[in-house]
Amino acid sequence: MSTPHRLVEDGIRHWGRLSGRPAAVNPLDAYTSLTRRLKSLRLKEWVGFTLLHPDWYSSLIIQDAHYLASSEIYAYDRAGGTLHQHAANAFGGRPTLPAELLESACRFERDGYRIAYSFSRASARHRIELDIAATPKAPAIRGELELDAMSATAPLSVSSRLPGGSMYTHKAAFPASGVLRVGAAEIAFDSTRDLAILDEHRSLLPYRTNWLWGTFATLTESGPVVGANFAARPELPGEPEESCLWTPSRCEPLSDIVFVPASADPSAAWHIASQDGRIDVVFEPEGRKQVKHNLGLFALDYFQLFGHYRGVLRGAEGDFEIKDVHGVCESMKARL
């Protein structure tokens, strides 16, 4: 469907696959008074990026659960086999995550920790800025990346009902240039090779929530980006899923994704396919980032694997071979 100006207009929410991100996305606009305040406790918002570079794996996120906010970043040096991680927490509502993303900035700032994104419609250039001080456990991470919106994939923009909640997500892959510094290491990003995949959520998630999710992308020899985003979670019949193929000229819907690990070994490969065969890939992990908390009413069992994909994408414009393409695969089980 076409892109509405706002996700919620005159108190009515738009549902379905949208052609692009609405100018303003606030699921709470569908509610008033006490209901709005209660729903705000269920709202989970985040904006993050997966960075794809041949020598380093990295992901970063700013997230606000409205009773607690946090930010995380990791950088994995493939040559040295070393994982560097930083994280910071704040009171809910402290991060800047504007409903109107374009011509705005997202920020998470604490002493010695700053992650900021800026999104510009006018220049078609977006920016990631990092300024994170060294700690006894990890080196400093600093730098800037510029994202080329003119050469990005067509966006994935989905508004759907979930059992006990609802979801809005916006995703796209952008060629990235610039430099990151992890301690003494200088990592040069080249927009003819390297990518940043945006992941934005504004979702009213159920108390018990779980999903499997993965993504990857690569530049083709002729220039355009191809890739995929895919998820498996409890769904309502007929509601659109947040899965797609990115082909050179479009974002093609996917559904009915199955994730099958080769074994219970944490480093085992995963076979991921849609029932119609339009995506059929194997993910080979190289490393793992894990978070576990059990606080009684609230619990989190999460891991993200980083590694490479191989297989095939079967799009409307033909087949695309996937060979040693970098990406991530994750599992979330939570009481939120």
pTM reported for the whole predicted model: 0.96
Is residue 179, in this structure, part of any structural domain at all? yes
Grouping H, G, I as helix, E, B as strand and the rest as coil, residue 151 is helix
Tell me what the mean pLDDT of segment 230-253 comes to.
Answer: 96
d(CA 236, CA 258): 16
Is residue 2, in this structure, part of any structural domain at all? no
Is residue 131, in this structure, part of any structural domain at all? yes
Range of the domain at 242: 8-335
pLDDT above 90: residue 1 = no
Domain total in the chain: 1
Cα–Cα separations (whole angstroms), residue 330 to 104, 169, 216, 231 = 29, 17, 12, 9
At 256, is the pLDDT very low, low, confident or very high (cuts 50, 70, 90)?
A: very high
Is residue 1, in this structure, part of any structural domain at all? no
Is residue 148, in this structure, part of any structural domain at all? yes
- DSSP 8-state secondary structure symbol assigned to residue 317: T
Is residue 211, in this structure, part of any structural domain at all? yes
Q: Tell me, what's the pLDDT at 296?
A: 81
d(CA 60, CA 58): 7
At 299, is the pLDDT very low, low, confident or very high (cuts 50, 70, 90)?
A: confident
| 127-150 pLDDT tens trace | 999 999 999 999 999 999 999 999
| 14-32 pLDDT tens trace | 999 999 999 999 999 999 9
Q: Tell me, what's the pLDDT at 212?
A: 98
Tokens describing residue 148: 């080329």
Cα–Cα separations (whole angstroms), residue 303 to 50, 71, 312, 333 = 14, 15, 25, 9
Q: Tell me, what's the pLDDT at 66?
A: 87
Tell me what the mean pLDDT of segment 221-243 comes to.
Answer: 94
Is residue 90, in this structure, part of any structural domain at all? yes
pLDDT above 90: residue 92 = no
Is residue 186, in this structure, part of any structural domain at all? yes
